[in-house]
């Protein structure tokens, strides 16, 4: 190595290239289609301008995003209406004309356009085709919310359609590993970019739907792909792919590109995930969530069991108290308690009566001692003692007489009841006899007859009859139809002779 050759650091070489690029491209106009738009919290816009053969990284700093009025001081243009806001200009697929200077971003070693002015130049061809297809499929009802199905919760069998070599499958599997309950994921490989991608995706969707008819077939289809430009994701905007998603028997979860990327397959799918990783999060709950759910259910089951046991214990206690209250032994105890209470009450009444008698005796003795002499007092005392002894002896007899009197009244009551029932029975028989005697058909049994005319009126006298009249005679065992042949009054009355029919 020669002594005059200088070895530069990466920073030094990059700085020289930056000065050279900025000196040769101080201000340029570039036209292209917008892609990969992002706006972090700093407020700066990062995006790419691209055409069919190349793309250019662009940055539009926040301080350059001034709101312009009807007059642009940079270009001298006069606008009839104020231009759109930056976020309205930088739409995915829009074709823009951007002005600024070219520089080099040293930390990444890449050149970029530092944008100072943005003007719309109409949409690109792919964006126009996307909007046209979107309107056509929307009119056919492909995006209608009412036709979209819910994903099965925590599915056990999943059909995954993606490229086996892309980053999307690794992100999906990484997020799926700590979630769910060891679901079976079957890969249906497909080409997700370039020529032949759309037919490959359609075949994978049809195969997964065919396998859904098997006993161990998938429960849901997951269609994923990593991020990219509109051209990279174009296979998912093909109408045949959207139609295959629309015809799917199984619910379809689409996680294509990044959150800002929207394809026709996303819009047609039953559920759209922001990213492939988000698709795994939508399919399965985390293991910690399942463990917590299991713990909650276990706690709820334990609480329910405790409440049931408490209710059963309360019911058992109530039944035990009822059983004890109605047990024969308890009945005997209550009767014995009643007997003791009544016995104590009777003894107390006897003692109180004796005390009253004693008090009366003492009072009388005191009175006697006040008015009588000692001899008479002694005699009265003896008499009082004798009366007291007689009273003590008479008390049991009095109680016995009262008991006998009670039994006597009880017997009289029973006898009176029987007599009352007997008299009521006799009266009933007399009334039955009288009712039988008043029966108008009773005399028929003794040989009498009941005569009535054709209208059923009873004939009491011969004056009610006339010659040739038809009568009905009711006897004990039947009736006779007769005709009056002769009327003979008798003893001031008229008798009639009848002729049988």
What pLDDT is stored for residue 201 in this prediction? 93
Q: Is the pLDDT of residue 244 over 90?
A: yes
Domain residue spans of the chain: 10-123, 130-144+151-285, 329-405, 443-500
CATH of 10-123 given 3.40.50.300, 2.40.50.140, 3.40.50.800, 1.20.1050.10: 2.40.50.140
- H/E run at residue 315: helix 287-326
The per-residue pLDDT for range 117-158, each reduced to its tens digit, is 887 775 555 666 777 888 889 899 988 989 999 999 889 899
Mapped onto helix, strand or coil, the DSSP state of residue 371 is helix
pLDDT top residue among 484 and 187: 187
pLDDT bin (cut points 50, 70, 90) of residue 23 is confident
112 and 105 in contact (C-beta within 8 Å)? Answer: yes
The whole-chain average pLDDT of the chain stands at: 82
Q: What pLDDT is attached to residue 74?
A: 47
What distance in Å separates the CA atoms of residue 471 and residue 464, rounded to the nearest whole number? 11
Cα gap 274→314, rounded to integer Å: 56
What is the separation, in whole angstroms, between the first and last Cα of the chain?
170
Q: What is the mean pLDDT of residues 418-440?
A: 83
- pLDDT recorded at residue 67: 54
pLDDT tier at 59, thresholds 50, 70, 90: very high
- Decide which of 203 and 132 is more confident: 203
Q: In CATH, what is the architecture of 130-144+151-285? A: 3-Layer(aba) Sandwich (3.40)
pTM for this model (two decimals): 0.43
**DSSP calls for 155-191:** -SEEEEEE-TTSHHHHHHHHHHTTBSS--EEEEEE--
Q: Is 156 helix (H, G, I), strand (E, B) or coil?
A: coil
| DSSP single-letter state for residue 18 | H
Which carries the bigger pLDDT value, residue 199 or residue 453?
A: 199
**Cβ-based neighbours of 330, under 8 Å, separated by 6 or more:** 324
Write out pLDDT tens, residues 247-288. Answer: 999 999 999 887 767 889 999 999 998 888 888 888 888 777
- pLDDT value of residue 159: 94
When computed from its CA atoms, the radius of gyration of the chain, rounded to whole angstroms, is 61
């Amino acid at each position: 190595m020669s002594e005059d050759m200088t070895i530069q650091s990466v920073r030094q070489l990059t700085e020289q290239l930056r000065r050279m690029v900025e000196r040769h491209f101080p201000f340029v106009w570039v036209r292209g289609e917008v892609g990969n738009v992002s706006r972090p919290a700093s407020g700066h816009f990062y995006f790419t301008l691209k055409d069919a053969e190349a793309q250019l990284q662009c940055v539009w700093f926040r301080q350059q995003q001034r709101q312009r009025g009807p007059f642009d001081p940079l270009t001298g243009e006069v606008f009839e209406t104020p231009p759109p806001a930056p976020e309205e200009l930088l739409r995915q697929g829009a074709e823009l004309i951007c002005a600024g200077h070219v520089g080099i971003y040293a930390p990444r070693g890449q050149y970029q356009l530092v944008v100072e002015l943005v003007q719309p130049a109409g949409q690109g061809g792919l964006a126009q085709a996307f909007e046209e297809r979107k309107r056509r499929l929307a009119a056919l009802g492909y995006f209608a919310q009412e036709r979209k199905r819910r994903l099965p919760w925590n599915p056990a069998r999943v059909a995954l359609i993606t490229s086996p070599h892309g980053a999307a499958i690794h992100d999906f599997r990484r997020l799926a590993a700590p979630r769910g309950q060891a679901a079976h994921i079957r890969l249906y490989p497909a080409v997700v970019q370039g020529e032949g991608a759309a037919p490959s995706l359609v075949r994978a969707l049809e195969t997964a739907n065919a396998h859904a008819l098997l006993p161990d077939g998938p429960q849901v289809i997951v269609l994923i792909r990593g991020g990219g430009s509109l051209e990279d994701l174009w296979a998912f905007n093909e109408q045949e792919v959207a139609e295959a998603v629309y015809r799917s028997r199984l619910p379809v979860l689409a996680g294509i590109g990044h959150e800002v990327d929207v394809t026709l397959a996303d819009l047609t799918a039953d559920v759209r995930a922001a990213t492939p990783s988000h698709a795994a999060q939508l399919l399965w709950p985390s293991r910690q969530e399942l463990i917590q759910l299991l713990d909650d259910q276990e706690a709820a089951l334990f609480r329910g069991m405790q409440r049931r046991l408490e209710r059963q214990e309360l019911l058992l206690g109530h039944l035990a108290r009822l059983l004890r209250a109605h047990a024969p032994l308890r009945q005997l105890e209550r009767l014995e308690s009643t007997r003791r209470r009544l016995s104590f009450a009777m003894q107390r009444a006897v003692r109180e009566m004796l005390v009253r008698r004693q008090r009366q005796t003492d009072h009388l003795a005191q009175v006697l001692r006040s008015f009588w002499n000692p001899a008479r007092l002694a005699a009265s005392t003896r008499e009082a003692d004798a009366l007291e002894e007689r009273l003590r002896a008479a008390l049991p007899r009095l109680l016995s007489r009262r008991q006998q009197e009670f039994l006597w009244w009880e017997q009289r009551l029973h006898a009176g009841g029987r007599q009352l029932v007997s008299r009521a029975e006799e009266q009933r028989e007399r009334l039955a006899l009288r009712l039988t005697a008043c029966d108008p058909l009773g005399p028929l049994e003794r040989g009498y007859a009941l005569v009535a005319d054709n209208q059923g009126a009873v004939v009491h006298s011969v004056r009610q009859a006339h010659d040739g009249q038809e009568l009905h005679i009711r006897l004990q065992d039947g009736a006779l139809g007769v005709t009056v042949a002769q009327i003979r009054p008798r003893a001031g009355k008229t008798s009639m002779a009848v002729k049988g029919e």
